[in-house]
Amino acid sequence: MTIASFIPSVTGLNAMSHSLNTVSDNIVNMNTNGYKQKETLFNTLLGNKGFNYGSQSGLHSSRVAITGVQTWDRDNILQQGLISNTGNVFDVAISDNNNAFFTVTDEVGNIYYTRAGDFAKITTDGVTYLETKGGMHVLGFSSINGGDEFSNNASEIVIDVPEVMPQRETTKAQIIANVPANGVSGSIYTIGIYSENYDGEDLNMILTKDETRENAWFLSFNMQDGTAVGDAAEIVFNTDGTLRSPEIVNAAIDWDDGSHSNIAIDLTRMTQYAESSQVVKIEQDGSPSATLTGLTFDKDGVLKAVYGSAAPYNIAKLAITGFTAPENLDPYNTTLYTANAEVGNSFYVDTTELIVPNSVERSTVDLAEEFSKMIVTQRAYSLNAQSFTVNDEMLSLLIDLKS
């Protein structure tokens, strides 16, 4: 018996101690949003030399000696946590896609990935960022002029929107309405419009029947604070009541303050039936001025500024990253991961219907499972300690006998 007889029990003690640390980490993070359960796995340490049966015998065994155990840890990165509603404006969770991670950066530009979406609005040096609880800046694609188009390059999400949104000028409109085929010589259709300096005015589109032509109507406009002229003199319908021409009419407006507007009005869904001058629907792309009422995320991961009845102003869309082999991400701290050569290619994930607003992904730790592991680990540690003690007693006895 040599000192080598202690190696299995010593490595066992170290392995069980490490496993208990992993269990403790899991338990302490059972309420940490976005935390992925870790587990310690074991494998046998094998010697690389066989048994030598004496230098004179010439015999050498091909068998290897078991010399202990070693550990390695595995993060269950692709395990989905329970999504829980929090009601917090800046909380977001990723749904139904384990290969998708929020992309964040530190103050020196290092990139990290996480499933913890409990974000907050933090102002630093006069600039308001969307940040993680650890102070990382969340990356996204900035909107172009607050519209539905976004930049192609991900950058830090900066929240910079006015308290009062000015009116958005009307540039196009569509009217869905019926022009009465019989008994009426004229009809008026009113479209609410906006311009740079006018916060909601009525543009009246007037159709007067052309008594010299069948199914034809003269077109004109009027309004209170300006003069409007259409580029089409007549609206003509087919005998079946559908529109013949024109499909689009451009209304040129000279406002009383000297400004000018052009509005393309879509007439393709107007009809001429033997009914009243019924207006079904009028749409236009302008909006009134409005006061900021709050911020919100939608299901596509777009952060919006909400302005009462006005159209929302898009701030940015979350940059969600996926990988060829996401299970190979390196853990950086409790909920952050870094990429390496083994994750393969990275790519931005389509966020359509991917995000659950006002919610977070909870920890994947199963407390009952962790307590079971703790009991087994503690028992294994005690057995290894007992083995070490027995080896120590046997070695002491052997030394006493030789002396």
Distance CA 67, CA 9 (A): 9
**Does 195 have pLDDT greater than 80?**
yes
95 contact partners, CB below 8 Å, separation of at least 6: 83, 354, 355, 356
Cβ(266)–Cβ(285) below 8 Å:
no
* 344-364 mean pLDDT: 96
Distance CA 83, CA 93 (A): 7
Q: What's the pLDDT score for residue 291?
A: 92
Please provide the distance, in angstroms rounded to a whole number, between the alpha carbons at the two ends of the chain.
Answer: 15
Q: Name the pLDDT band for 66 (thresholds 50, 70, 90).
A: low
* 377-394 mean pLDDT: 76
* 109-126 mean pLDDT: 96
DSSP alpha helices (H): ranges in 255-403? Answer: 367-402
pLDDT tens per residue across span 159-178: 999 999 888 899 999 999 99
Task: Return the percentage of the chain with pLDDT > 70, whole number.
Answer: 90
Domain 172-288 belongs to what topology? Tick-borne Encephalitis virus Glycoprotein; domain 1 (2.60.98)
Q: Name the pLDDT band for 400 (thresholds 50, 70, 90).
A: low
Distance CA 346, CA 352 (A): 18
Tokens of 296: 């919100």
**Does 65 have pLDDT greater than 70?**
no
Q: What's the pLDDT score for residue 125?
A: 92
Q: What's the pLDDT score for residue 69?
A: 80
* 16-42 mean pLDDT: 90
Segment among 13-17, 114-118, 152-156, 299-303 with least mean pLDDT = 13-17
The three-point CA angle 99-105-106 to 5° equals 145
The dihedral region occupied by 21, where left means phi > 0, alpha psi between -120 and 50, and beta the remainder, is alpha
**Does 357 have pLDDT greater than 70?**
yes
**Does 378 have pLDDT greater than 50?**
yes
**Does 59 have pLDDT greater than 90?**
no
* 124-144 mean pLDDT: 96
Higher-confidence residue of 143 and 387: namely 143
Segment among 188-197, 332-341, 372-381 with least mean pLDDT = 372-381
Tokens of 55: 């230098």
Q: State which amino acid sits at residue 370.
A: E
Tokens of 144: 């172009």
**Does 3 have pLDDT greater than 90?**
no
Higher-confidence residue of 74 and 284: namely 284
* 270-297 mean pLDDT: 91
Task: Return the percentage of the chain with pLDDT > 90, whole number.
Answer: 66
Cβ(204)–Cβ(220) below 8 Å:
no
Q: Name the pLDDT band for 269 (thresholds 50, 70, 90).
A: very high
Tokens of 87: 């009601």
Q: State which amino acid sits at residue 319.
A: A
Tokens of 205: 């589109």
Distance CA 159, CA 303 (A): 9
Q: Name the pLDDT band for 54 (thresholds 50, 70, 90).
A: very low
Q: What's the pLDDT score for residue 6?
A: 67
**Does 55 have pLDDT greater than 70?**
no
Query: What is the overall mean pLDDT for the chain?
Result: 89
**Does 154 have pLDDT greater than 80?**
yes
334 closest CA partner among 33, 17, 24: 33
Segment among 55-69, 92-106, 134-148, 263-277 with least mean pLDDT = 55-69
Q: What's the pLDDT score for residue 58?
A: 46
pLDDT tens per residue across span 314-345: 999 999 999 999 999 999 999 999 999 999 99
Residue 369's φ and ψ, nearest 5 degrees, are -65, -40
Q: What's the pLDDT score for residue 43?
A: 77
* 219-235 mean pLDDT: 92
138 closest CA partner among 76, 90, 82: 90
Q: What's the pLDDT score for residue 52?
A: 47
Residues of the chain with CATH 2.60.98.20: 172-288
Q: pTM of the prediction?
A: 0.71
Cβ(101)–Cβ(337) below 8 Å:
yes
Tokens of 347: 């790519």
Which pairs with CB-CB distance under 8 Å and at least 24 residues apart come from 183-190?
A: 184/209, 184/277, 185/209, 187/277, 188/277, 189/277, 189/279, 189/282
Q: Name the pLDDT band for 5 (thresholds 50, 70, 90).
A: low
Higher-confidence residue of 65 and 262: namely 262
